[in-house]
Amino acid sequence: MDPALGPPEAMAEKRDELTPMMRQYHDLCARYDDAIVLFQVGDFYETFCGAAERTARLLEVALTSREDSTGEYPMSGIPIDNAESYIEELLEAGYRVAVADQIEEPGESPGVVERAVTRVITPGTLTEDELLAGDDNNFVAAIARGAGTEGDTAEIALALLDVSTGDFLATSSSSCEAIADEVSRFDPAEAVVGPDAPTDLLPENCMVTPYDETAFDRDRAGAKLSAYFRNPDALLASDAEIRACGALLSYAEYVRGGAHEGERGETADKAETEGDAPDDEDHHLEYLTHLTRYDPREYLLLDAVALRSLELFEPRTVHGRDDATLVGVLDETASALGGRKLRDWLRRPLLEPDRIEARLDAVEELMGAVQTRERLHELLRDVYDLERLIGRISRERANARDLRSLRDTLAVVPEVREELADADCGRLRRLHDALDPLADVRELIDDAVVADPPIEITEGGVIAEGYDADLDDLRGTARDGKQWIDDLEERERERTGIDSLKVGYNSVHGYYIEVTNPNLESVPENYQRRQTLKNSERFVTPELKEREDEIVGAEERADEREYELFCEVRREVAAEVERVQRLAEALATLDALVSLATAAAQYDYCRPEIIERGGGADSDGRVLEIEGGRHPVVERTQESFVPNDADFTDDRRLAVITGPNMSGKSTYMRQVAQIVLLAQVGSFVPASAARLTPVDRIFTRVGASDDIAGGRSTFMVEMDELATILREADENALVLLDEVGRGTSTADGMAIAQAITEHLHDRVGATTLFATHHHPLTELADDLAAAFTLHFEVEQVDGEVVFHHEIAPGAATGSYGVEVATAAGVPDSVVDRARELVAAADADTEPGDEATDTATASSDAPAAETAAATADGGDVPTDVAAELRALDLAHLTPVEALTELDRLKRLLEE
């Protein structure tokens, strides 16, 4: 906890002496001691003491002070009107914010104005539209560890909740890494952790919130879940999951705050006595209606490294354009709902061919039906964010405009349905049937709420004429009264004979009759003087006063009645939460499918053929066949892109890819993986043809990504990631290795690369693409039955390198590093000198060169030499070679691997 949070020391010492207001502040700080308490004083949210100093500095607002009988306190305030942007900054700086609103009008009751925390705002539990990205979820996670029954490893459960949309998921695994992978997939902004939760699996950008241990109690969590879902024990797989989900629900209720409105004082009264006992019924979040339990193994597994290197959501380079991502290329969604759905699909590609085909069928149909697709896209643009709307409606935070937005969305539904009326494929037909236009809800809103309501819901003008007889009466009374007054001027002029007599209104004195000084003697008896002006007098009559009271009374009661009615309508709509959510789900899915179809049409993608493993007619093995494949992201940023093929089977499963720098190796490998991934998402793919069996995991080790910030050497990171691959990959995985073994000496790097290649080939059996500058690996590939070589050829024209970006069988002939340097504009003198050195080095390593002694071969001799030595086993002492071969890399930690290497090296040097 931040030491500046919690009750200010200066106040804590003398709590009992504080003024009532400061005592209130002190107590709220004590109750919400992990947050900055924003304390409403009139039009401002104030903070005091340490918190004031902090917010003043952070938000660049003035630091003032407040003095009362008990002392002087630093103070700093932000205007309520503009609070969201300040709150956003506080969140970004890593704080939670508790908003303490005045829950009664000043003067309503004796003593200090009552205040209560109406909401706690934390990065993971945002519901404010201003603070949320529309097209992505914002998750808060909870992690709990299971007890671990006999013979069973302790389980770790992960629960994920998007408070703004109601998306609620749970999973568990006995492997910490598997849970870490799921965390990377969903990238929660915040994680609520229990007493024994492993927090080290959380990424740095995730706020860790230690939370009430008892909420993680098996029984309490179970009870909490039962309040939401009928049979949580059947829904969830383990105690750990129940504890994570139950605790997360408690937390979601807690951040909802004591009073859920802040609209009117009365709703908040209860909040005062509640304290922070979050079990109160009133905190119940009705819109959390579904909880999805899933097994990480149901989806294509992508760990943090793969998500990054395949550019799913983040550009690979820091300076990369935001749209230089897979989602950037594919996202043609029209609504926020669809945007989130598409991201969820990309995050969790499928494994089962049937499910993949169902999506592909829909994409194909929509792609072909151009008009329908375009029309659907148009219609879907008018779809509001239903999930968040119904969330707000359910939390009683929606205003009349929100209800109208819901109504406007519902109005689109029949047309969307119509477009799908002739749909062929099952998926689209089911969507058609799921599109419930909620005619009753639409009618209710149409009848009840005016077309263009004001933002405020307590000041009238919200409820439509004819909806409620009482309201119409009140409005009638007010209207009649006003009409009576409008006519009064005419009547009184006639009665008094004063032609200049005027009836007017001002906010202090109300209605009056104004008579100019020359006419004062004609004033009738029942006029009562109210105000004397320079040239005239203002009067009222008892009748006028009576009418006026009637009007004001009727208007006040009408406003109250309207608010009552509005809340009623809102509750009625809220009762339909599940139907609205089902509709939202259908619209989201449709939007995502239309988006995939649009991208496919726009970029000329093809439908991949998904082949069930073990179910193929010709062979039972794996297939990964791509004709004319392209990199979906690079081809968008490039004037022309050269398509390339790929062809992998059980007998050709490991490709060693060589070629000079910049020839296209990395691009090629990533495009192969992205095509596989897209296919499993149910998307068309950037190729002219593709056939493949789904893979269940993609591993990547692409490029030399530094982790200097994390304090680990590049080599260490590399070995760490490699260790994971070697430990966890199997024949259903797709493995990309790009320039592995660079972070150490050539000989070590070569040795590691070779050992890895052999291991992947012999024991793992994964489909592997290995780009390497270690040319001897290509020779190794010739010796391994299921390995083969690919290379990128470049041409030298007039001493300059021309890249064709065309992949071909076989190994590359040279590295062309020097030529690339020329192309890059390195001065001629440097290039010439480099050429000399290369020539000399080549001479040194001519076959048959006698100069090799083991010591140099192992440390800094060129790679070819070592490889030659290793390949025939000649110059490496047999004991060392044997030890190398026996090395079980799959069961070594990175540190052990390093130690082992170091030992072997020493053996060679002896």
Which amino acids are annotated as binding site for ATP, given as ranges? 659-666
**Cα–Cα distance measured from residue 692 to residue 647, given in angstroms and rounded to the nearest whole number:** 10
**Cα–Cα distance measured from residue 776 to residue 750, given in angstroms and rounded to the nearest whole number:** 8
Cβ 691 vs Cβ 826: under 8 Å: no
Size of the site for ligand ADP (CB under 6 A): 14
**Minimum Å distance from CB 666 to Mg ion?**
3
**Minimum Å distance from CB 320 to Mg ion?**
16
Helix (H, G, I), strand (E, B) or coil at 311: coil
Cβ 417 vs Cβ 555: under 8 Å: no
Binding site residues, as ranges? 659-666
Tokens of 295: 């097994």
**Which partner in ligand ADP, Mg ion, none is near 634 (CB below 5 to 8 A by kind)?**
ligand ADP
The region of 259-267, 660-668, 817-825, 862-870 touching Mg ion under the rule CB under 5 A is 660-668
**Minimum Å distance from CB 624 to ligand ADP?**
18
For strands 64-68 and 71-79, give the pairing: antiparallel
Q: 207 - beta bridge partners? A: 190
* 658: contact with ligand ADP by CB under 6 A: no
The region of 556-564, 659-667, 832-840, 850-858 touching ligand ADP under the rule CB under 6 A is 659-667
Nearest Cα to Cα of residue 605 among 582, 586, 629: 629
> Which residue number has the CB closest to Mg ion?
666
Q: What order of strands is seen across the sheet that includes strand 644-649?
A: 609-610, 689-692, 623-629, 644-649
The region of 314-322, 442-450, 658-666, 682-690 touching Mg ion under the rule CB under 5 A is 658-666
Of 529 and 804, which has the nearer Cβ to ligand ADP?
804
* 666: contact with Mg ion by CB under 5 A: yes
* 642: contact with ligand ADP by CB under 6 A: yes
**Which partner in Mg ion, ligand ADP, none is near 595 (CB below 5 to 8 A by kind)?**
none
Cβ 434 vs Cβ 409: under 8 Å: no
**Which partner in Mg ion, ligand ADP, none is near 746 (CB below 5 to 8 A by kind)?**
none
Of 165 and 644, which has the nearer Cβ to ligand ADP?
644
- The Cα diameter of the chain in Å comes to 134
Binding pattern for the stretch 209-248 against Mg ion, x by CB under 5 A and - elsewhere:
----------------------------------------
**Cα–Cα distance measured from residue 812 to residue 778, given in angstroms and rounded to the nearest whole number:** 9
* 671: contact with Mg ion by CB under 5 A: no
Of 501 and 685, which has the nearer Cβ to ligand ADP?
685
**Which partner in ligand ADP, Mg ion, none is near 118 (CB below 5 to 8 A by kind)?**
none
Cβ 445 vs Cβ 532: under 8 Å: no
| DSSP assignments along 194-223, one per residue | -TT--GGGS-TTSEEEE--GGGG-HHHHHH
Surface-to-core class of residue 910, CB atoms within 10 Å of its CB (0-12 exposed, 13-18 middle, 19+ buried): exposed
With residue 657 as reference, give the H or E element that holds it. Answer: strand 654-658
**Minimum Å distance from CB 300 to ligand ADP?**
23
Query: What are the residue ranges of helices labelled H in 497-541?
Result: none
Of 634 and 734, which has the nearer Cβ to ligand ADP?
634
Cβ 136 vs Cβ 343: under 8 Å: yes
**Minimum Å distance from CB 661 to Mg ion?**
7
* Footprint of Mg ion on 777-836 (CB under 5 A): none
Among 116, 120, 573, 634, binds ligand ADP (CB under 6 A): 634
Cβ 402 vs Cβ 392: under 8 Å: yes
The region of 509-517, 635-643, 834-842, 892-900 touching ligand ADP under the rule CB under 6 A is 635-643
**Minimum Å distance from CB 824 to ligand ADP?**
12
| DSSP assignments along 345-386, one per residue | HHHS-B--HHHHHHHHHHHHHHHH-HHHHHHHHHHHHT---H
**Minimum Å distance from CB 811 to ligand ADP?**
14
Of 634 and 655, which has the nearer Cβ to ligand ADP?
634
* 805: contact with ligand ADP by CB under 6 A: yes
**Minimum Å distance from CB 636 to Mg ion?**
19
**215 Cβ contact list (under 8 Å, min separation 6):** 194, 221, 224, 246, 247, 250, 251, 278
DSSP label at residue 743: S
Among 153, 638, 813, 893, binds ligand ADP (CB under 6 A): 638
Binding pattern for the stretch 587-626 against ligand ADP, x by CB under 6 A and - elsewhere:
----------------------------------------
* Footprint of ligand ADP on 661-700 (CB under 6 A): 661-667
* Footprint of Mg ion on 102-161 (CB under 5 A): none
Instruction: Report the 10 Å Cβ neighbour count for 782.
Output: 11
**Minimum Å distance from CB 665 to Mg ion?**
5
Cβ 624 vs Cβ 693: under 8 Å: yes
* 659: contact with ligand ADP by CB under 6 A: yes
**Which partner in ligand ADP, Mg ion, none is near 24 (CB below 5 to 8 A by kind)?**
none
**Cα–Cα distance measured from residue 431 to residue 435, given in angstroms and rounded to the nearest whole number:** 6
Tokens 């890059």 locate to: 824
**Cα–Cα distance measured from residue 522 to residue 901, given in angstroms and rounded to the nearest whole number:** 116
**Minimum Å distance from CB 720 to ligand ADP?**
22
Helix (H, G, I), strand (E, B) or coil at 801: strand
Binding region for ligand ADP (CB under 6 A): 634, 638, 641-642, 644, 659, 661-667, 805
Binding region for Mg ion (CB under 5 A): 665-666
